[in-house]
Amino acid sequence: MLPLVALVGRPNVGKSTLFNALTRTRDALVHDQPGVTRDRNYGVCRPEGQRAFAVVDTGGIAGVDEGLAGATARQARAAAEEADLVLFVVDGREGASALDDDILRWLRKAARPTVLVVNKTDGIDARAAMAEFARYGFGDVIAISSAHRMGIDDLLDDIQERL
Ligand code: GDP
Ligand code: MG
């Protein structure tokens, strides 16, 4: 069985865009509207000369734990808990939000190996964007742009080391 990498983060940070960049598909629905990906979506990443792994895209985790948003949050938590590695995806343009803080809290409880992935760093100061999340205390922080395929190779190297 392939190792499993879960993409977790609040709506609209670019999880589905990253899923597509990793799996080189357009299977995941990418949308301007937050919370478009409702279900778990599985794919496979086969990096050249590296170990293949399964990827699961999860719906954005909304703060209110009820209705559809609550079901989506539960799916995301379940995906994170079964994953070998979690990519905690955040928005480098918007910086840390209360929702990111919430997700961080339950990710700590889930206690899975986690990499902090700062997305949307195209056209901005990536170092400053990463510094916004320094208080989260991650040893492993990678700046990427899913939309422009920047930093994806570094991320893949990091994933390989962690699997
Ligand atoms: P999700 O809700 O976390 O799955 O986010 P999506 O992948 O659906 O992306 C949400 C929005 O952010 C879309 O409009 C994407 O085009 C945009 N987006 C995603 N990745 C990037 C990126 O690396 N840079 C920029 N500038 N926009 C991005
Ligand atoms: Mg999505």
Q: Domain range for residue 108? A: 4-162
Contact 106, 62 (CB under 8 A): no
Pocket flag, ligand 1, residue 17 (CB < 6 Å): yes
Domains held by the chain: number: 1
pTM: 0.90
Inter-residue contact 23 to 31 (CB < 8 Å): no
pLDDT digits (tens, 9 = 90+) for 84-112: 999 999 999 999 999 899 889 889 888 89
- pLDDT-derived band at 40 (thresholds 50, 70, 90) equals low
Helix (H, G, I), strand (E, B) or coil at 122: coil
The yes/no answer to whether this complex scores an ipTM above 0.95 is: yes
Report which of 146, 159, 148 is spatially closest to residue 85, judged by C-alpha positions: 159
CATH of the domain at 142: 3.40.50.300
Which atom, in ligand 1's list, is nearest to the CA of 123? 26
